[in-house]
Structure 1
Amino acid sequence: MANDNRTIREIRARNYDEQPLCITYPPLGANANLELKGFFIHNLPKFYGQAGNDPNRHLLEFHMMCEGAILNGVTEDQFKLRAFPFSLLDAAKDWLFYLTPGSISTWKEMKAAFLEKFYPDSRHNRAKKAITTIEQDHGETMYEYWERFKRLVAQCPYHGLSEDDLLVNFYEGLGQEDQRMVNSATGGGLENYSIADAKEIIERLASTTRNYGRSQRGSRNASSMGTSSSSTQNLEQSVNDLTHLVKNMMVNNPNKDGGQGNQVECNYFQGPHMEEACPIMIEEGIGVENVSAMGYGNYNARNPFGGGYYNYDPSGWTRVPCLLLARPPALL
């Protein structure tokens, strides 16, 4: 210090030569020529650091992109450490800038720091538990269940489970009907086959259910729910068919003079239709002339469903046997 002739201003001046980033880039070789092209940077996968982002998928897509771009004479550490910051945006970019300067010098260290931040142990444990406790949902085909299972495994690549454990978890989560289908196809169970053959069998069986639509198969305890759902669908279809039939009768039945008959509101078959087309009138053998006659005098019509008679109303409205309200023709 005694020989330091710098002024205080010079000593306190900022050192702009220091590298502020967390990354210490490995030096390039003498013959290496590394340049990140604009189209490469533009097409890199982007990670925003949001809750719904999958960090493992981002690393996989980044790796695939870099594999086709690394030049001869350039190492993985040299290339990926320079390219990775361009794949981060928003909160993820902020995280990178806040790391301790010079704390990252290899691609392995960068991956570890990235996953520790965006894929902590709590998230990893939840993903692993979802794999080990998975069950086929009610109405879910075997194909949909198999695809969902593979997606969960891909989202947790560090699950630590063996291939046979994964297949057992998948099989035990199947509904009863699909378990029986697997047992029938394998002659008793998947344990009699190698892992590769067992996977092939599951893929083949799952593909056969791909075009089934929403299956009536449920989980182990949902078979009765499937039966109830089927009965409800049949009932709804019957009601729709009956409604369609009544509408056709309303539109396609002209009166005896070639014109449209009187449109009336029926309390039994909902919606307006012609008097002579009412199914109850046809069943009881009541013609239009009888309905008209009911409006001209003190005529008491018997209710075909019981409960007394329909009385003529002097105001001009008559209750007729089809449970509808009709104005007598003479008063229209």
Structure 2
Amino acid sequence: VKEYQEKNKIRSKQDKNGKRGEAEKSDDANKHLDKFLHVTQSIKVNGVIDDALRLYLFPHSLTHHATAWFDRFPRNFINTFEQMAKIFIGKYFPPSMVTKLRNEITNFRQLPDESLFEAWERYKLSIARCPNSNMLPVTQIDTFYNMLTLRHRDTINAAAGGTFMKRHPKECYDLIENMTAHHNYWDTSIQMSESSSSKTSSSDPKIIALKAEMAEINKNLMKFHQINQQVKGVTHNYETCGGPHSYNDCPTIDIC
């Protein structure tokens, strides 16, 4: 217990001196509680139940305005750690923040130059910051998949061996985790595929020959079209005398 208190004294001094990182300063209430429970789960005192021990230690985990906030409570106002946690969450993780973070999840969109790994990590961080979002796993996966670029959706479908969203949410999650665990391979393979496709279309002998053949066909069609237009513009010559007049006007024909 004394060791825990000493660590938090050092932490408080670092906070006052501005030595703590920005990420640690911005820890939300849920993350703070998770860290506190993780640290204190191994602390045991003979004759003291865990709930009472945590209730005693929790104020020592607070710093700055949170400490001042706690000190305003009357003595023995809070009797259980569960009550303490509920009041703490209500203060530092209000419904308005839940709504804001939930909107951050539902409005997620992959950035143009963002890799699948980066997008997935950013999305998971948004979910972790809002454990009270009450979003079903299938909704979380569906939101992430539909907000990816077409290129990455095609890649995921290929890895799934068909339509990705037809799989069970747990399978979908595991598949994305596996792909992002090997993100260097997947992102490189996509780039190589696009590069290969570009090179193939410009250097494949068969494609070059086909393009040349199509160009020749188009050239011949244009010639035929021009000749046809010329024929239509000439007055027809008839077989009677070959003159430039109609059959009825031909002077060589005897009219009865």
The TM-score range, normalised by the shorter chain, is 0.5 to 0.7
Counterpart for residue 50 of structure 2: 76
Does residue 163 (structure 1) correspond to residue 137 (structure 2)? The answer is yes
Q: Who is 2:6 aligned against?
A: 42
* Equivalent residue letter for 2:156: V
Shift of 1:54: 1.5
Note the C-alpha offset of 1:145.
0.7
Assess if the C-alpha contact under 8 Å between 1:76 and 1:107 holds in 2.
Answer: no
Contact 2:179 2:186 in 1 (8 A): no
Q: Which residue of 2 aligns with 1:148?
A: 122
Could you tell me which of 155, 163, 171 is aligned with 1:181? 155
Unpaired runs of at least 5, structure 2: 16-21, 192-256
| 1:115-264 matched pairs, under 5 angstroms | 115-210=89-184
In structure 2, the partner of 1:96 is: 70
Whichever residue aligns with residue 79 of structure 2, its letter is: S
d(CA) in 2 for partners of 1:61, 1:211: 34
- The offset of 1:193, in angstroms, is 2.3
- The structural deviation recorded for 1:194 is 2.4
Aligned residues: 181
**Fraction of identical pairs, as percent:** 25
Unaligned runs of 5+ in 1: 1-35, 218-332
What amino acid is the match of 1:41? Q
CA distance in 1, matches of 2:177, 2:131: 20
Distance in 2 between residues matched to 1:171 and 1:118, nearest whole Å: 31
TM-score normalized by the length of structure 2: 0.63
Is the Cα–Cα contact under 8 Å of residues 141 and 212 in structure 1 kept in the other structure?
no
Deviation at 1:46, TM superposition (A): 5.8
Q: CA RMSD in A?
A: 2.9
Aligned-pair CA distance for 1:141:
0.4
Q: TM-score, normalised by structure 1?
A: 0.49
Q: Which of the pair is proportionally richer in strand? A: 1
Aligned counterparts of 2:48 and 2:27: Cα–Cα separation in 1: 30
- Structure 2 contact 116–187 (Cα < 8 Å) conserved: no
Amino acid at match of 1:158: N
Distance 1:195 1:75, change over 3 A: farther
* 1-structure distance, mates of 2:142, 2:4: 42
What displacement does 1:53 show? 3.4
Check conservation: 1:164, 1:195, Cα contact below 8 A.
yes
Q: CA deviation at 1:122?
A: 0.9
3-state SS of paired residue (1:188)? coil
1:77-123 residue CA offsets vs partner (Å, 9 max, x unmatched): 21110000111111010000112443211111111111111111111
Q: By how many angstroms is 1:197 displaced?
A: 1.9
More helix as a share of residues: 2
Q: State the AA in 1 paired with 2:51.
A: D
The answer to whether structure 1 residue 111 and structure 2 residue 75 are counterparts is no
